[in-house]
Amino acid sequence: MRNLSLVAALALIVAFFGIASPEFLSPRNLSMLAIELSITATLALGMLLVLLPGQIDLSVGSGVGLLGGIASVLVFQRGWPAPAAMGASLALGVLLWHLMGRLIVGQNLPPFIVTLGGLMVFKGLFWLIIGNSTIPVVPGGAHNLYSLLTTYYLPPAAGWVLAAAAGSALAWTRVRERSRRRRLNLELESGELFFLKLFVTLQSLLLFVALMNQFRGIPLPVLLLAATALAVGVLTRRTVFGRHLYAVGGNVEAAFISGVPVERTIVRAFTVMGAVVAATGFLQTAYAGASTTTVGELMELDAVAACVIGGTSLRGGRGSAAGVLIGALIMAALLNGMTLLAVSPEFKFIARGCVLTLAVWMDSRFHAPARHIS
């Protein structure tokens, strides 16, 4: 239900910009929007994993700059092959975030403070490592895996094949789950609704591929986002770890008494976040073409905003990958549309802030959960 109202809000935003600036709905712009969305949404999906158990991570923006910067330095200054450089940086991200998680639960420190410290420390390290200069992701004019991250497009034919494969895989798992539920006598939604939902999903998939193919094909970041979204969706909805995330955020004392490994769950959420930050760092740096001192700045706030707009509770225990995707899409569409309308940066910030506040206000007004009596 709440996701439906978000989709309606998104439709309004798209309609507004579509009318105000016809360029907004052009295949070229939609392709760019898709790339921008992929970068913020990937980070926001990681943030969801941290917010669900009632934590927060303010260090991810600096982390994006730092981990992207380390990979750039290894490639451009040390001549490492791109995959090795990115692998090393990813491993470092996982380690750093694991340690932050351990610090938070082990010493019982507030995550807000620890990650605020992380924000500053990582920013300083980042500037040290790139020497306050601009480090390209690839030596002049060439290509490597790093630069291709945001410049590669799947050829149209491959896009169609992929869409067909993904579509049939989705249909197959949905139908199989439905038949198992029927065998086990579990509640089922009506057949019409089931097929309608499946149909709409498959239609949107095809529409998306058709649109992207009108420009250059599906951008690689979109595939990475799809993989991240699928992973986070499965993680939150289908795994023991995911259940534990909701339990810790929903009622930490009850979670402990119920045998949930509270500390391990929180550390693990941060550890996964480390990998997500590294991936976002590579995407964002590649999109900018080089590491510069401003890469990643304020991205932590965009990630939190996307989560919150998508219905994630900052107190933990509530939120979904689908909601975060829509929240990120709203933020990305807003930003992209305002850029097309040549809105000045000052007013862009003001508009984003207002939309964030409005979204949270609507959420607390219309979707208020049962009041918690403490």
Partner 1 sequence: MPADALLRARSLTKRFGGVTALDRVDFDLYEGEIHALCGENGAGKSTLIKLLSGIHPFGSYEGGFELRGRPARFESVADAEAAGIAVIHQELALVGEMSVAENLFLGSEPVRGAFIDYERMLGQSRELLRRFGLAIDPSLPAGSLGMGQRQLVEILKALRKNSGILILDEPTAALSEAESRRLLSILRDLRAQGISCVYISHRLEEIFALADRITVLRDGSTVATLRREDADPKLLIRHMVGREISELFPRRRAARGEAVLSVSHLSVEPEGGGRTLEDISFELHAGEVLGIGGLMGAGRSELLMHLFGAWGRRRSGSVRLAGAELACGGPEESIRRGLALVSEDRRRHGLFRGQDIRFNLSLSSLERFSRRGLVDSTVEGAAALSMFSSLKVRASGIGVDVGGLSGGNQQKVVLGKALMTDPRVVLLDEPTRGIDVGSKQEVYAFINDLTDSGRGVLLVSSELGELMGMSDRILMMRDGHAVGEFSPESDARALIAAALGHA
Which stretches of the chain bind partner 1, using CB under 8 A?
177, 180-181, 184-187, 234, 237-243, 246-247, 250-251, 253-261, 317-318, 369-370, 372-373
Considering the complex, state which of residue 94 and residue 137 has its C-beta at the smaller distance from partner 1: 94
Name which of 97, 32, 34, 37 is nearest 62 in CA terms. Answer: 97
Going by C-alpha positions, the residue among 312, 299, 366 that lies closest to residue 65 is: 299
Residue 183 Cβ, how far from partner 1 at the closest point, in Å? 8
CA distances from 257 to 29, 40, 104, 247, 248 (A): 52, 36, 21, 11, 11
- Taking the complex as a whole, the smallest distance from the CB of residue 234 to partner 1 amounts, in Å, to 8
User: How distant, in Å, are the alpha carbons of 52, 100, 114, 153, 321 from that of 266?
Assistant: 10, 10, 14, 37, 18
Tell me the closest approach of the beta carbon of residue 44 to partner 1, in angstroms. Answer: 21
Helices 299-309 & 321-340, crossing angle to 10 degrees? Answer: 120
Q: Which has the closest alpha carbon to 136: 83, 71, 192?
A: 71
Q: How far is the CB of 52 from partner 1 (least distance, A)?
A: 12
Are 273 and 50 spatial neighbours (Cβ–Cβ below 8 Å)?
yes
CA distance 31 to 54: 35
CB 374 within 8 Å of CB 9: no
Considering the complex, state which of residue 230 and residue 234 has its C-beta at the smaller distance from partner 1. 234
Q: Which is nearer to partner 1, 142 or 368 (CB)?
A: 368
- Of 90, 71, 66, 93, give the one whose Cα is nearest residue 81: 71
Closer Cβ to partner 1, 102 or 243, answer by number = 243
Q: Is 186 exposed, middle or buried (CB count within 10 Å of its CB: 0-12, 13-18, 19+)?
A: exposed
Nearer to partner 1 by Cβ, of 65 and 319: the residue is: 319
